Each structure stands twice: as C-alpha cells, then as structure tokens.
Copies of this chain bind each other. A is one copy, B any other.
Amino acid sequence: MDNVIDGKKISEEIRSELKQSIKYEMLKPSIAVIQVGDNEASNTYVKMKEKACDEVGIYFRHFKFEEGESELSIINKIKELNNDEYVNGVIIQLPLPDGYNEKRLVNTIINSKDVDGLTDINTGRLVSGRKTLVPCTAAAVIELLKRSNVEISGKHVVLVGRGKLTCRPLIQLFLNEDATVTVCHSKTKDLGYVTRHADILVTAVGINNIITSDMVKDGAVVIDVGINYETGKISGDVDFDNVSKKASLITKTPGGVGPMTVTMLLKNTVYCYLNRKK
C-alpha cells in the first residue's frame, strides 16, 4: 500500500550509506557484545546483530559468559573493553539472568562507548537536551519519521507506553523536535479519547490490536513499536488492516520499526568510532 512506511527499505538505505562511508573513508568501527547465559531469544538477537555488522563492515566481537559467572569478572571485562582503543561500542545483551545487577553492569560501560544509550549519564544528558547516544528503538522512530518527511515541530505526538527503552527517551526526543507530547499507559482513562488527538501516534505496549481504528484520527501518522507473538506470528499493537485505512502513514509489523533498531545500533557504533578521539 501507498501509505506504508517501509522500515526494511529505509533500514537498507541507511545500512548502504554506512557501508559506503566505512569503505570509502576507510573507517574501522568495532563493537563488543557481552552476553550472559544461553537465552534462546538473546542468541538470535546477537546473531542478527553480528550479521548486520558483517554486512556494513563493523568488526563484531562476542563475549559469552556462562550463567553463574561472577558479576565481578563481567565488570572486569567491561572495564577492559572501555580501555581498549580498538573497541568503539560496548553493549550488554538484555535481559540478564536473575541475580545480576543490570543497572550496575550497564553503568560500568563508559559513556562514549554506550551504543545502546542506556547509562544513567547518557539518559541524563538526553533529558537536558544535549547531543548524546540515544537508545536504538527510540532513535529508530525519529529516523523513520524524518526519512518519511513527516514534520514533527508543532505536531501533537501521543506515546502509548512509558518504558525506558522506547517511550521515556522518545518524550525527550520529540520535545527536542518541538512537538507537543502526551504519554499514555495502562492507567490512562479512556485511551482512545487521548489517542484520537494524535497527529503522530507511537505505540510500544506489546498488546496485540490494542490500537483499533476508532482510536486514530483521520490522517494520523502511526508508528507501531509493539511486538507480540500471541497469535503464532509476529504482530504489533495496531490493528493494521483497519487503521491503515485512516492513517496517512503507518508502519507494519514485521518490517516496520524492528529492522531499524539494529540499524541504529550500527549508526551509533560508527558515530562512536568517529568521535573516539574527541
């Protein structure tokens, strides 16, 4: 359909740009991924990241610890990577197994290599409006809108969800772009009443079809970040078949925000490489 924002296509464009600049400017970006335990979904995500890195020319290193490995030895590995001038990005594959202090481990990553944008300091910098590394899914939403020529300034953005990976950073990013921003969540009364005000509606809840067409204004731009597996296949938060008839632009799940998230990780890594000596 004409009004579908094709995340896969936009993602490929960006990866191709990254690949070109890595090749012709002879950049040598590298990323280190720390994984603890053998969570199946994590294995898949790590492989997906490795494949994407290989594709554009980012050197990928994978450090896999067994579940039960001491937190201290993981911290020591992070510190070693912080100090390694040949490593530009460091991420910890989440979720960690029970018993590990996620916040402590994430905050051990030096801010200049925090390509997931999750340390407290980078979060604080984002809130105070300074240039910093931004969580990949949130960055993906803004990038999709910009590459689709959606004007954000002065628009009313409604975020459904308040999670730290997507909606909390998006509040800041949309305010920085001069949007009016509303944040809804499970405690919001009459969700549809609020979402009908959205010029740009972003949903990151993880409940299949929670956004139906009566909840969307004619001509709205709809970005679906939700991922659900309930129906046996991957779906988003939005009743796509019906909402797409009202929206001026809309993402589809799969093929919307998903492919963009890893791409933003690649972009952040190249950014860190280019800024490594500043």
A residues with a Cβ closer than 8 A to B are 103, 119-125, 127-130, 153-154, 156, 162, 164, 168, 171-172, 175, 178-185, 187-189, 194
Other 13 A-B pairs with CB < 8 A, given A180-B185, A180-B189: A124-B127, A128-B168, A153-B187, A154-B188, A162-B175, A168-B172, A171-B183, A178-B185, A178-B187, A180-B183, A180-B194, A181-B183, A182-B182
Please name all residues of chain B whose beta carbon is closer than 8 Å to the beta carbon of A162 when the two chains form the complex: 175
Docked complex Cα distance between A253 and B168 (Å):
32
User: Are A128 and B184 CB-contacts (below 8 A) given A120-B121, A121-B121?
Assistant: no
Please name all residues of chain B whose beta carbon is closer than 8 Å to the beta carbon of A171 when the two chains form the complex: 171, 183
Instruction: Closest B residue to A121 by CB, please name it.
Output: B120
User: Are A128 and B182 CB-contacts (below 8 A) given A123-B123, A153-B187, A187-B153?
Assistant: no
Docked complex Cα distance between A136 and B99 (Å):
35
Cβ distance A17 to chain B, nearest Cβ, rounded Å:
30
Please name all residues of chain B whose beta carbon is closer than 8 Å to the beta carbon of A181 when the two chains form the complex: 182-183
Determine if B129 and A124 form an interchain contact, defined as CB atoms under 8 angstroms apart.
no
